[in-house]
Amino acid sequence: MNKKPQPVSLTIMGKEYKIACAADEQSDLIQSAQQLDMQMRQMRDSGKVAGADRIAVMAALNLAHELQLMKNQNAMLNQNLSECLAKMTHKIENVLENQ
């Protein structure tokens, strides 16, 4: 895998940004920029938020909130999985001891 940073051209709200990124991460970066662009355009078009700076901050807050929700959900899923594996291990050990 190529980890050497290469420039990637991204367009967000009509402005072009060149970002150095490892070649194997370019696709994710482009998708992230497209998601940010979509959120910012939706906010601008709704008319509820004015100014590019405010739109960027609100979009960042929305994405950070979404990320935090996903992290919390992932932690709960990991905990549930660990509990299930512990129960399964206990059952297997009981079966093996009773043979």
Give me the CATH topology for the region 5-97.
Answer: Double Stranded RNA Binding Domain (3.30.160)
- For the chain, the domains span 5-97
Assigned token pair, 26: 């370019």
pLDDT band at 62 (very low <50, low <70, confident <90, very high): very high
pLDDT above 60 (res 71): yes
Query: In the predicted model, what is the mean pLDDT of the chain?
Result: 93
Burial readout 66-87 (b: 16 or more C-beta within 10 A, e: otherwise): eeeeeeeeeeeeeeeeeeeeee
Q: Which amino acid is residue 56, in one-letter code? A: A
Please report the pLDDT score of residue 1 as a whole number: 52
pLDDT band at 2 (very low <50, low <70, confident <90, very high): low
Please report the pLDDT score of residue 49 as a whole number: 87
